[in-house]
């Protein structure tokens, strides 16, 4: 194996690791949801749905292309996202067991049907085009908050840890796509990388503006830090 091949494989598995972090990152709002500290309306449901569809389509694509890294990353990500989706559906059903069970059975049936439909019926090239679309939607989903951030200055609406994870994952998968000369991997991850940079810039700019306009908050945070130390 050449150095280039070795680097490509390493970055592929690094992409798997970072992607796993990206899918685990939303655990905090779901923990708060379980504890009753927030309602299901405050959970990033659009990102969740886009992530779920994206994962199972990419798992199909990875399996069709014989790409173990893509299959592993999205198999893990899909499983984690399915757990979060189940938690969300339970709360949408107001914790009524039978209602929640019906929601989950319907969801699982849809996911399984999509998985087998694309694996057995749809051509790999068409699947590649569709995964590009859903991958872009997944990376762009947090951007729905950008308008609100620009209007209110509330930089905290950007899920910064998820954004950094998406940024790092996009960088790894972009190189991996270039290494494999695989356009369905290159296109969405190039856009995902640009989107990640944009969101981090927005976060930094509005965080500075917020701290400048709220000096008391900065001083309070510094005092708490000194007490802890």
Helix/strand/coil for 116: helix
What's the Rg (C-alpha) of the chain? 20
Reported pTM: 0.71
**pLDDT per residue as tens, the chain (229 positions):** 566 667 767 777 887 888 888 788 778 888 888 888 888 877 777 777 777 888 888 888 888 888 888 888 888 988 898 899 888 888 888 888 888 888 888 888 887 777 778 777 777 778 888 888 877 777 666 666 777 787 777 777 777 777 787 788 888 888 888 888 888 888 888 988 888 888 888 888 888 887 777 655 544 444 434 433 4
Q: In the chain, what is the greatest distance between 2 CA atoms, to the nearest angstrom?
A: 62
| Positive or negative torsion for Cα 219, 142, 108, 127 | negative
CA–CA distance from 217 to each of 111, 150, 168, 203, 224 (Å)?
Answer: 45, 20, 30, 17, 11
Q: What is the pLDDT of residue 218?
A: 46
Measured distance CA(131)–CA(54) in Å, rounded: 7
Q: What is the pLDDT of residue 225?
A: 42
| Tokens, residue 189 | 């991850």
């Amino acid at each position: 194996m050449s150095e280039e091949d070795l680097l490509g494989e390493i970055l592929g598995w690094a992409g798997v690791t970072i992607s796993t972090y990206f899918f685990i990152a939303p655990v905090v709002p779901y923990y708060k949801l379980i504890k009753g500290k927030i309602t299901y309306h405050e959970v990033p449901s659009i990102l969740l749905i886009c992530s779920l569809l994206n994962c199972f389509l990419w798992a199909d694509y990875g399996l069709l292309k014989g790409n173990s890294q893509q299959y592993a990353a999205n198999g893990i990500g899909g499983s984690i996202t399915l757990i979060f989706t189940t938690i969300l559906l339970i709360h949408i059903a107001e914790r009524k067991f039978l209602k929640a069970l019906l929601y989950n059975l319907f969801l699982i049936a849809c996911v399984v049907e999509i998985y087998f439909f694309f694996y057995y019926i749809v051509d790999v090239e068409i699947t590649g085009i569709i995964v590009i679309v859903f991958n872009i939607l997944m990376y762009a989903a947090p951007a729905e908050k950008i308008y609100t951030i620009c209007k209110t200055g509330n930089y905290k609406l950007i899920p910064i840890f998820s954004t950094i994870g998406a940024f790092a994952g996009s960088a790894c998968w972009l190189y991996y796509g270039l290494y494999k000369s695989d356009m369905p991997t290159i296109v969405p991850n190039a856009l995902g990388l640009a989107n990640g940079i944009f969101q981090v810039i927005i976060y930094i700019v509005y965080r500075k503006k917020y701290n400048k306009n709220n000096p008391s908050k900065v001083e309070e945070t510094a005092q708490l830090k000194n007490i802890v130390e």
